[in-house]
Structure 1
Amino acid sequence: MLVIRPIEQRDFAILKQIAIESGHGFTSLPVNDELLQNKIDHSMASFASRAGGKGECLYFFVAEDSETGEVLGTTALESAVGLSSPFYTYLLGKQVHSSRKLGIHNVVETLTLTNDYTGVSELCTLFLREPARQGLNGRLLSKCRFLFLAEFPELFDQRVLAEMRGVSDDAGNSPFWSWLQEHFFSMDFPTVDYLTGIGQKGFIADLMPKYPIYVSLLSKEARAVIGKTHDKTRPALHLLEEEGFCWRGYVDIFDAGPTVECEVRHIRTVRSSRRLTVRIGHPVQARTHLISNTRFEGFRALLGDMAVNEQQGQAVLTAKVARLLKVEDGDTVRVAELKHHD
C-alpha cells in the first residue's frame, strides 16, 4: 500500500533518481543536486514553521510503499507562484482585422506573454515511477493534495493551477520551442528546460518577444501542439479534468502545454471531503476512500477501505490503515469516497 508523507532529508538519493527518470520537459525536477536539496529544504522549512497565511511555501510529498519503504512517486503543492521570480505564461487570444469598406473581416489568433497567474497556488511535481503505474496509485498521488487543500485552505490562494507537460519527442525536442529558438533564441529545448528548472529565468524577460505573436506566423508543427499535452501527461490531465479543472487559453512559454485551473471551492474532492472521528474495528460494507489524518507536519494520506457510521460521525478503519495514518480511536480523519467512475 502506498502512503503519502512529507519529503524528508533521507529521500534525497531517490529524489535524484526520480528526477532522472522524469525526463525532458519535467521542469519542476531538474537533475541538479543543489536545486533538489533546495526543494527538500524548502518543503521541510514550510512544514516546520506553519505560515500564518499564504506565503511562498512548498509542500512536497512522496509516496512510500508501506511494505518495502521504497519511494515510488512525488507530488507537491506550491502556495503561491511568481512572487520572488516571475511566472510567465502565454495567453492564446484573438485579434480582429476588419475593414467594412473592403468587406474584409479576419480573426487571427495571438500569443501574449503574461504574468496573470502571479500569487496563484500550483499543483506540481506529480510523478509516479514505472513499477507503481497500476491500480489507483495515480489517483492517490493526484487527489491526496486536495485533502491537504481542504484541511488547510488558509495556506493557499482561492485559485489553483497546474501546468501540463507539452509535446516533445524522446530526445527532448519541442516543435513549439524549435520555432522560438530559430527566431529569438539560440538554445535547444533541453537546455532551456534545465535553466528554467534551476531558477535561471532572467533570459526569458531578456529574449522573449514582448509583443503578441501571430499564431499564423508559426510553423505548422508549432501551431499543431499549442494547448496539447504530452502523451505521458494525459492521465494526469484527465484526473484534473474530473476534479473540475479546465483550460482557459494559457500555455507554457516553452512547449505550449496547457495550464489548467480551478477555484479551490469547486474542486470535486475538496467539496466532497469531510471530517470524521476514527473508530478502529472491522469495517462492514467497506468502500474505498481517500483518507488522510488532519495533522500538518505529520500529514499522512492513503487509499483504503473503510466504513462510515453516519449516526456517530465515525470512520471505521482497520488497525493497519489506522497505523499507517498514525491515528488512534477518537482522532480525526478527512475522507472522500472514490466513486465508481474514479
Structure 2
Amino acid sequence: MIIIRPIEITDYDALMKCAEESGYGLTSLPTNEELLRKRIDHSIKSFNGQVDIPGTECYFFVAEDCDEKEVVGTTAIERAVGLTAPFYSYHLNKVVHSSREFNVHNVIDVLTFGSDYTGSSELCSTFLRENWRRGYNGKLLSKSRFLLMAQFKDKFSKTIFAEMRGVSDEYGNSPFWKWLQENFFSIEFSQADYLTGIGSKDIIADLMPKLPIYVNLLSKEAQAVIGKVHKDTVPALKLLEQEGFVNRGYVDIFDAGPSIECDIDNIKSLRNSQVLKTVFVDNSDLMEKKSYICSNTKFSEFRASVIDIMIDEIKQEVYMTKEQAKYMKIKESEGLRVLSI
C-alpha cells in the first residue's frame, strides 16, 4: 500500500536517494544535503503555519510503501513562486517582418525572457522510483496534490503550473543549453541546473540574454527541443494534460521544457472529487468494492492512497475497514475525499 504524506525530518536519507536517482534536469531535487534538509524543515514549518514570509510556503510530500517501509517517490507544491527570488522563464511568441514594397512577409518565432509566473502556485519535485512505476502509483502521486487543493483551495493561487523536464541525454546534455553555452556561458548544463537548484538563480540570470531570441538563429538541434519533454516525463505530462493543463508558450530557460498551467477551478480532479461520511465495516462486507484515490480532510496530517471501498451515493457514505482508516488517519463519521480512478 502506497501512502502520500507530508515529509518528515526522518525522511532525509530517503529524499537524498530519490534526488540521486532522479538524474539531471529535475532542478528542485539537487543532491545537496544542506538544501534538502532546508526543504524538509521549510515544508514542516509550512504545514504548521510557521514560515517567516506568508506566501512562501512549500508543501513537500513523500510516497511511502507501507509494506516495504520505504519512501519511493516525492512531490511538492510551492504556494507562490518568485516572492523571495526571481522565477524566470521564456515565452515563445511571434513577430512579423513585413515589407509591401518587396512583397516580403515573414512570421518568426521569438523567445522572450520574463517572470510572468510570479505569484503562481507550482507543482514540482515529482519523482517516482523506477521499481514503483506501475499500477496506479503515478496517478496517485499526481492527483493527491489536487485533493489537498480541493480541501484547502484558499491556500493556493488562481493559476497552477508545472515545469516539465526538457530533453537531455543520459549525461545531462541539453541541445538547447548547448546553444546557450556556446554563445553566452562557459559552464555545463548539469552545473547550471545544480546552481539553480541550490538557489543561485541570480548568477544564471545575469548571464542570460535579456533581449528576445530569434528562434531561427538557434541551432537546428536546439530548435527541435523547444517545448518538448524528456522521455521519462511523458507519463507525468499526459496526466496533467488530462486534468486540463495546457501549454501557453512558456518554456524553461535551461532545457526549453514546457511549462503547463491550469486555472485552479478548472482542474478536473479538483472538481470531480467529493467528501463522503465514513462508515466502518468488516472486509467481508465490502462485496462491491472498487478502487478510488482517497484522502482525509486534514492538512498537516494529510494522507492519500488508492484504497478499495464501497460508496452509497444516495446516503453520501463511504464504507471502509478500520485498518484502511488507520493508514488514512481518519475516524468513523469523519469526511473522506474520494476520486474515481
Residue 164 of structure 1: aligned partner = 164
Q: Distance in 1 between matches of 2:298 and 2:124?
A: 21
2:327 maps to 1:317: no
In 2, are the aligned partners of 1:54 and 1:156 still within 8 Å (CA)?
no
Residue 64 of structure 1: aligned partner = 64
User: CA shift at 1:285, angstroms?
Assistant: 1.9
User: CA shift at 1:90, angstroms?
Assistant: 0.3
SS at 2:293's partner residue? strand
Residue 272 of structure 1: aligned partner = 272
2:302 maps to 1:295: no
Q: 1:2-17, aligned counterparts within 5 Å?
A: 2-17=2-17
Please identify, of 326-335 and 214-223, the stretch whose mean Cα deviation from structure 2 is larger: 326-335
Please identify, of 149-158 and 42-51, the stretch whose mean Cα deviation from structure 2 is larger: 42-51
Q: Distance in 2 between matches of 1:336 and 1:235?
A: 20
Q: Distance in 2 between matches of 1:41 and 1:313?
A: 38
2:185 maps to 1:182: no
Q: Distance in 1 between matches of 2:249 and 2:116?
A: 12
Give 2:159's aligned amino acid: R
Q: Distance in 1 between matches of 2:124 and 2:215?
A: 28
Residue 48 of structure 2: aligned partner = 48
User: CA shift at 1:318, angstroms?
Assistant: 2.3
In 2, are the aligned partners of 1:24 and 1:172 still within 8 Å (CA)?
yes
Residue 126 of structure 2: aligned partner = 126
**Any idea what the Cα deviations from partners look like across 1:28-56, whole Å, max 9, x if unmatched?**
000000000010001000012278x9611
Give 2:120's aligned amino acid: V
Residue 20 of structure 2: aligned partner = 20
Residue 30 of structure 1: aligned partner = 30
SS at 1:321's partner residue? helix
Give 1:323's aligned amino acid: K
Q: Distance in 2 between matches of 1:185 and 1:83?
A: 27
User: CA shift at 1:203, angstroms?
Assistant: 1.7
Residue 140 of structure 2: aligned partner = 140
Q: Distance in 2 between matches of 1:105 and 1:160?
A: 37
SS at 1:118's partner residue? coil
2:340 maps to 1:328: no
Give 2:121's aligned amino acid: S
TM-score, structure 2 normalization? 0.97
Change (3 A) 1:50 1:35: closer
User: CA shift at 1:131, angstroms?
Assistant: 1.5
SS at 1:29's partner residue? coil
Q: Distance in 2 between matches of 1:194 and 1:234?
A: 23
User: CA shift at 1:67, angstroms?
Assistant: 1.5
Give 1:252's aligned amino acid: D
Q: 1:79-158, aligned counterparts within 5 Å?
A: 79-158=79-158
Change (3 A) 1:154 1:54: farther
Q: Distance in 2 between matches of 1:163 and 1:38?
A: 22
TM-score, structure 1 normalization? 0.97
Q: How many aligned positions are there?
A: 338
SS at 2:173's partner residue? coil
Q: Over the residues paired in the alignment, what is the CA RMSD in angstroms?
A: 1.4
In 2, are the aligned partners of 1:54 and 1:80 still within 8 Å (CA)?
no
SS at 2:13's partner residue? helix
User: CA shift at 1:284, angstroms?
Assistant: 3.6
% identity of equivalent residues: 54
Q: 1:243-258, aligned counterparts within 5 Å?
A: 243-258=243-258
Structure 1: stretches of 5+ with no match in the other structure? none
Q: Distance in 1 between matches of 2:164 and 2:181?
A: 21
In 2, are the aligned partners of 1:161 and 1:262 still within 8 Å (CA)?
yes
- Off by >3 Å, runs of 4+ in structure 1: none
Residue 239 of structure 1: aligned partner = 239
Q: 1:203-214, aligned counterparts within 5 Å?
A: 203-214=203-214
User: CA shift at 1:311, angstroms?
Assistant: 2.5
In 2, are the aligned partners of 1:54 and 1:154 still within 8 Å (CA)?
no
